[in-house]
């Protein structure tokens, strides 16, 4: 499981990858310790394979997802479908770089699911937040990278949650 890597080291890997790749790929600078995202939020989500049993979500204000899409596809007018497609590809790129960083630490290949896109802030049922990194973009957009682990003590209706905008 990814939690076999010390939490601090895992957070450091996540932070380094998110900030470097976001700056390199789309020219957006993310500063750590920003405010919590608010307003119209979306989440792109990926689950790591059963060997790790964890997941990663990138939750951000709509403005940041639009900006990522504008920079990646070099178009000013972004449709909801474009925003979703770019968000999924963005998390795919992040996870590929995270997997490359994780291999030396765990000596096990890191595989992950196809990304999913949700309105609102999403945390999968039966999981709890393990690491939450909060950012503010250089145009004041807010985002969070959320690493979740299985909630071994949860059961029944209280076994997890999906927050606003998700049924």
pLDDT in tens, 68-103: 999 999 999 999 999 999 999 999 999 999 888 876
Report the distance separating Cα 8 and Cα 32, nearest Å. 15
- pLDDT tens series, the chain, 167 aa: 444 678 898 899 999 999 999 999 889 999 998 789 999 999 999 998 776 778 999 999 999 999 999 999 999 999 999 999 999 999 999 999 988 887 666 666 778 899 999 999 998 888 899 999 999 999 999 999 999 998 875 444 333 344 444 43
CA angle at 102 for the pair 128 and 50, rounded to the nearest 5°: 50
116-119: long-range contacts (C-beta < 8 A, 24 or more apart)?
116/44, 116/45, 116/46, 116/88, 117/42, 117/43, 117/44, 117/45, 117/84, 117/87, 117/88, 118/42, 118/43, 118/44, 118/45, 118/162, 118/165, 118/166, 119/41, 119/42, 119/43, 119/165, 119/166
Please state the domain extents for the chain: 2-150
Pick the CATH number of 2-150 from 1.20.120.720, 3.40.50.2300, 3.30.310.50, 3.40.1550.10: 3.40.1550.10
């Amino acid at each position: 499981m990814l939690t076999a890597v010390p939490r601090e080291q895992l957070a450091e890997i996540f932070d380094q990858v998110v900030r470097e790749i976001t700056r390199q790929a789309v020219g957006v600078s993310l500063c750590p310790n920003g405010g919590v995202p608010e307003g119209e939020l979306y989440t792109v989500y990926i689950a790591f394979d059963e060997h790790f049993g964890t997941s990663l979500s990138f939750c951000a204000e709509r403005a940041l997802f639009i900006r990522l899409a504008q920079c990646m596809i070099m178009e000013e007018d972004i449709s909801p479908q474009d925003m979703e497609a770019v968000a999924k590809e963005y998390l795919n790129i992040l996870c590929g770089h995270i997997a490359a960083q994780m291999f030396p630490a765990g000596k096990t290949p890191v595989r992950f699911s196809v990304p999913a896109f949700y309105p609102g802030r999403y945390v999968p049922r039966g999981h709890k937040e393990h690491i939450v990194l909060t950012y503010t973009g250089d145009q004041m957009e807010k985002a969070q990278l959320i690493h979740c682990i299985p909630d071994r003590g949860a059961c029944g209706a209280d076994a997890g949650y999906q927050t606003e905008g998700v049924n």
